[in-house]
């Protein structure tokens, strides 16, 4: 449901930008570092919106990849700790001797 709301807001925002761009159809002089050019304002507005959206998406994608790597490392550390705990538990289980078995061994040794 949350993703559908984001998608709906995205469409509404795109519609507002497109309407704004279509209303402003005049030519605009754009100054670059190396010169100037005349472009329709529609293309300038839509181009700026597309470049802004792509840059935000790229930064979001980079963050998602970083978080996925971190989750993978944390799962690996968690699994290592779990196996370590299981090994320690097995060691303590094998080291503990049942007291009834210990008494039997003592009685057998005394009878010899």
Q: Where are the beta strands (DSSP E) in 1-112?
A: 27-31, 36-40
The total number of structural domains in the chain stands at 1
- The per-residue pLDDT string of the chain (112 residues; one tens digit each, 9 = 90 and over) reads 888 888 898 889 888 888 887 888 788 888 888 889 898 888 888 888 889 989 999 999 999 999 999 999 999 999 999 999 988 888 888 876 555 555 555 555 566 5
pLDDT of residue 62: 96
pLDDT of residue 102: 54
Nearest to 40 by CA among 31, 27, 21: 27
- Domain range for residue 85? 2-111
Which pair of tokens denotes residue 38? Answer: 């005349």
Give 97's DSSP letter. Answer: -
pTM of the model: 0.57
Q: In whole angstroms, what separates CA 65 from the centre of its chain?
A: 6
């Amino acid at each position: 449901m949350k993703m559908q709301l984001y998608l709906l807001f995205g469409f509404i925002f795109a519609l507002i930008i497109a309407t704004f761009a279509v209303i402003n159809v005049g030519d605009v002089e754009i100054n670059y570092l190396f010169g100037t050019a005349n472009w329709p304002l529609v293309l300038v507005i839509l181009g700026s919106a597309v470049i802004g959206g792509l840059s935000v998406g790229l930064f979001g994608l980079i963050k998602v990849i970083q978080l996925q790597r971190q989750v993978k490392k944390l799962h690996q550390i968690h699994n290592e700790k779990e196996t370590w705990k299981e090994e320690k538990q097995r060691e303590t289980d094998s080291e503990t001797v049942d007291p009834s078995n210990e008494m039997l061994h003592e009685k057998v040794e005394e009878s010899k």
